[in-house]
Amino acid sequence: MLSIDITLTDKPKEKPADETKLGFGHIFTDHMFIMNYDTGLGWHDARIVPFGDLSLSPAAMCLHYGQEIFEGLKAYRTKDGSVQLFRPDENFKRMNVSNERMVIPPVNEEDCLQALKELVKLEEDWVPHTEGASLYIRPFIISTDPYVGVRPADHYLFIIILSPSGAYYSTGLNPVKIYVEKKYVRAVRGGTGFAKTAANYAISLKGQQEAHEQDYEQVLWLDGVEQKYVEEVGSMNIFFVIDGEVVTPQLTGSVLPGITRKSAIEICKKRGYKVSERRISIEEVAKAYDEGHLDEVFGTGTAAVISPVGHLKWGDKIMTINDNKIGPISQMLYDTLTGIQWGTIEDEFGWIVKI
Ligand SMILES: *Cc1c(COP(=O)(O)O)cnc(C)c1O
């Protein structure tokens, strides 16, 4: 059991008055969780303190070489007013996978979950009451040694911050337009694609920007070796329904192992769909489209849960999926996942952790 020291703020902020205008990631709650790591001491000094700026040396290693990892999950308010989390144990398990790859010392997963629960409990009033809105949770670790040489650090901070966020789909489940990236790559064989680390996002900004300029919302990344096989979208994993079969790229090391992805696979299997985790080339997707077998395309991730894809642009070819409407499997997954998360349907999988 982690012993957590608590210092309460003497300047509590006003809660957002209009929960329909929260947006994503702009507002932060009154408190945050912090603990330190020092070589020889391990993780120590677990504490909840008022949310505020950090004091770091300008030479702090994370600022120069990006030794950083993060996680993302949400707390949901149910109809009876209670607050719950969705598979939070999976986030801390994945955090340690990312840590291992980035040579960051492992965390105690139970301690982290306890810290998260205590922080959310303290900030319970910040969990939005509006349908579809939630409290976004961002745990992360940075290296802090004041040293501009390249080596794994000896000093780290583990921090959890909380951000009330609005419904992702304020105007209903709208299909997104996706640009298949042919020039840039996100991850390569042997790289850091499977780790949730800042570098993977820094590398993706340029492609994302060029896609935006062409009025596409997200980029679909192809493999970094041949640029032939489909990998994932921005911050979502990708699924195709081809002739009734649910297909998603297998986890080869360059794809982020999404918890929503894993949950979608488990739901589809339980509902009797054929699910394949395998390599799928963009040519195969285009061929299925031409032959009229590409039934649905959708992304999965914590932020949007399920994001139907309406348009897919690959070079000069523009594919319009399912008439730019949400398909039946996408809708079933969206209803099941959000129903479990907000507690409106029974949690038949045992995924919910109550605060
Ligand atoms: C976080 C993330 C996802 C989605 O993971 P979830 O656990 O489902 O939220 C997918 N791709 C990338 C690159 C990510 O960082």
CATH number of the domain enclosing 88: 3.30.470.10
Whether residue 249 has its Cβ less than 6 Å from ligand 1: no
Cβ contact 163:138 at 8 Å:
yes
Q: Are residues 148 and 192 in the same domain?
A: no
pLDDT score recorded for residue 170: 65
pLDDT score recorded for residue 20: 87
Looking at residues 52-78, what average pLDDT do you find? 97
Whether residue 193 has its Cβ less than 6 Å from ligand 1: no
In our burial notation (b when 16+ CB lie closer than 10 A, e otherwise), range 19-51 reads beebeeeebbbbbbbbbbbbeeeebeebbbeee
pLDDT score recorded for residue 1: 85
CATH value at residue 285: 3.20.10.10
Whether residue 238 has its Cβ less than 6 Å from ligand 1: no
pLDDT tier at 173 (50, 70, 90 boundaries)? confident
Q: Are residues 142 and 235 in the same domain?
A: no
Q: Are residues 234 and 316 in the same domain?
A: yes
Q: Are residues 298 and 262 in the same domain?
A: yes
Whether residue 91 has its Cβ less than 6 Å from ligand 1: no
pLDDT tier at 171 (50, 70, 90 boundaries)? low
Question: Do the domain assignments include residue 346?
Answer: no
Q: Are residues 18 and 156 in the same domain?
A: yes
Atom of ligand 1 nearest to the CA of 260: 8
For tokens 């297998």, what's the residue?
Answer: 250
Q: Are residues 199 and 147 in the same domain?
A: no
Token duo for residue 19: 């929960």
**Which of 219, 237, 239 is the best mutation target for the ligand 1 pocket, counting ligand atoms within 8 Å of the beta carbon and taking the most?**
237
133 C-alpha to center of ligand 1: Å? 19
Domain stops at, among 144, 165, 186:
165
Atom of ligand 1 nearest to the CA of 71: 1
Q: Are residues 318 and 259 in the same domain?
A: yes
pLDDT score recorded for residue 94: 98
Question: Do the domain assignments include residue 257?
Answer: yes
Question: Do the domain assignments include residue 170?
Answer: no
> Does residue 319 carry a pLDDT above 90?
yes
Question: Do the domain assignments include residue 311?
Answer: yes
Looking at residues 291-299, what average pLDDT do you find? 97
Q: Are residues 192 and 310 in the same domain?
A: yes
Whether residue 137 has its Cβ less than 6 Å from ligand 1: no
pLDDT score recorded for residue 131: 86
Whether residue 254 has its Cβ less than 6 Å from ligand 1: no
> Does residue 204 carry a pLDDT above 80?
yes
Q: What is the pLDDT of residues 253-277, one digit of tens each?
A: 999 999 999 999 999 999 999 999 9
Share of the chain above pLDDT 70, in %: 99
pLDDT score recorded for residue 53: 98
Q: Are residues 316 and 217 in the same domain?
A: yes
Query: How confident is the prediction for the chain on average, in pLDDT?
Result: 96
Domain stops at, among 133, 165, 197:
165
Looking at residues 204-225, what average pLDDT do you find? 95
- Please count the structural domains in the chain: 2
Residue type, 138: R
Cβ contact 207:184 at 8 Å:
yes
Q: Are residues 158 and 196 in the same domain?
A: no
Domain stops at, among 165, 187, 221:
165
pLDDT score recorded for residue 117: 98
176 C-alpha to center of ligand 1: Å? 17
Q: Are residues 104 and 55 in the same domain?
A: yes
Q: Are residues 158 and 181 in the same domain?
A: no
Token duo for residue 59: 């030479």
Whether residue 84 has its Cβ less than 6 Å from ligand 1: no
pLDDT tier at 355 (50, 70, 90 boundaries)? very high
State how far the Cα of 221 lies from the Cα of 186, in Å rounded to an integer. 7
pLDDT score recorded for residue 269: 98
pLDDT score recorded for residue 241: 98
pLDDT tier at 141 (50, 70, 90 boundaries)? very high
Question: Do the domain assignments include residue 228?
Answer: yes
Other beta carbons less than 10 A from residue 320's beta carbon: 12
> Does residue 66 carry a pLDDT above 80?
yes
Atom of ligand 1 nearest to the CA of 302: 9
Question: Do the domain assignments include residue 354?
Answer: no
Coil, strand or helix at 219: strand
pLDDT tier at 133 (50, 70, 90 boundaries)? very high
In our burial notation (b when 16+ CB lie closer than 10 A, e otherwise), range 268-282 reads beeeeeebeeeebeb
173 C-alpha to center of ligand 1: Å? 19
Atom of ligand 1 nearest to the CA of 300: 8
Share of the chain above pLDDT 90, in %: 95
Looking at residues 83-111, what average pLDDT do you find? 98
Distance from first CA to last CA of the chain, Å, rounded?
16
Question: Do the domain assignments include residue 81?
Answer: yes
Question: Do the domain assignments include residue 353?
Answer: no
Question: Which residues form the domain of 225?
Answer: 176-341
pLDDT score recorded for residue 343: 95
Q: What is the pLDDT of residues 42-58, one digit of tens each?
A: 999 999 999 999 999 99
209 C-alpha to center of ligand 1: Å? 19
pTM, entire model: 0.96
Residue nearest to atom 10 of ligand 1 (CA): 236
Residue type, 156: Y
